[in-house]
Amino acid sequence: MRIGVIGLGSIGLGIARSALSAGDEVVGADLSQAQRNAFAALGGEATGDAPEAARGADCVFCVVINAAQTEAVLFGKGGVAETMPEDSVFVSCATLPPETAERLGARLTGLGRLYLDAPTSGGPDKALAGEITIMGSGAAAAFDKAQPALDAVAAKIYRLGDAPGAGSAMKAVNQLLAGVHIAVACEAVAFGARLGLEPSQVYEVITGAAGNSWMFENRVPHILDGDYAPKSAVGILTKDLGIVLDAARTRHFPVPMASMALQMFEMTAAAGMAQDDDASVARLYALIAGLSLPEAGD
C-alpha cells in the first residue's frame, strides 16, 4: 500500500523505515533537509511538503511534536486533509489532549476521511524495528483501513474504543507514570549518593528489587554514563505532563504526583536543561545539593 509519513524525527523515521521494510511504498515529509536525507539514505522518497506526502496515500502517519503541529498538518493552508484521498486514513501519533483528538477526528471525518487516534509508546529503537506499541481508538473502518500499515510498524496495537480520544487518554496515563518514574529515579539516585551509595550500586540493586521501573532501568544508565545528550528531552515531558495536568484540571481531578513531577522537570528546564536528556533531573538535584554524579569519561 501507499503510505505517507509526516514528520521524520526519531519515531517518524523509524515508522517510515519499518513500512518501507514491509514492502510498502512510502513518502516521508519533513521540513528538515537532514531528516529527509536520512530517510532517502534508507531508500525512501522524501519531500519537504506534507500535503505532497499525503497525496494518493492509503494511510498517512502524522508523527509531529504536538497538537498545534498536528492541526496545522491537517487543516493548515494546503493541509493534508485536502490532499489525502477520500476513505484514506489519518493516523495521528503525537501525544494530544484527548479533547483535541476528538475534535480533529470529528472534523476530518466530516470531510469523508478516516481518523485514528494512535499515540505510540516504545521510543526510537522500537520504531526502527517496527515494534512500537500503538494505543489506538477510532471507527472500525479506520482500523480496518490502517491495519496492514499498523502491522508493519507496531508489535502491539490496542483497540481502546470506537472513537478518537481513548487512545490519547491512555497515552496521558502512560506519560503520567513515565514522567513520575523518571523524576523519582533521579531523586532516588541523588538521594542514594547523598547517603554515600555509589550510583552504579544503586542501579544494580534496585533493578533487581521491588523499587524498579521500566524508566529507572532505561534512564539511570544515562546518569551512570554522565551522558545527557537528549535521547528524550526534558521539554517533551514538560509538554506531556502539561497535557496530563490540563486534562486533570479540566475535570477537577487531582494528580498530585504528576503535578510534583512536572515541577521537577520545569525546575530542570529553568536551570537551562530543557533541551537535554530527561535524566537531567538528577543534575538538578546535584546542582541544588552540591553532589558529585558520574561524568562522561569516568
In the complex, which residues of this chain contact its own copies (CB under 8 A)? Answer: 98, 121-123, 133, 135, 156, 158, 160, 165-166, 169-170, 172-178, 180-181, 183-185, 187-192, 194-197, 201-202, 204-206, 208-216, 218, 244, 247-248, 251-258, 260-261, 263-264, 285, 288-289
Distance separating alpha carbons of residues 259 and 256, to the nearest angstrom: 5
Minimum Å distance from CB 86 to its own copies? 30
The pair phi, psi for residue 27, each rounded to 5°, is -115, 125
The end-to-end CA distance of the chain, in Å, is: 49
Closer to its own copies at the Cβ: 106 or 205?
Answer: 205
- 32: nearest Cα among 60, 14, 10, 17: 10
Report the interhelical angle of 98-110 vs 234-250 (nearest 10°). 80
DSSP letter for 62, please.
Answer: E
Give whichever of 26 and 153 is closer to its own copies, judged by the CB atom.
153
Nearer to its own copies, 60 or 243 (CB): 243
Between 26 and 281, whose beta carbon lies closer to its own copies? 281
Q: Which residues are catalytic?
A: 171
Distance in Å, CB of 138 to its own copies, minimum: 15
**Grid cell for residue 85:** 484521498
We find the least distance from the C-beta atom of residue 65 to its own copies, in angstroms, to be: 18
Closest C-alpha to 187, from 161, 213, 165? 213
The secondary structure element, H or E, covering residue 121 is strand 120-121
| Shortest distance (Å) from residue 107 CB to its own copies | 21
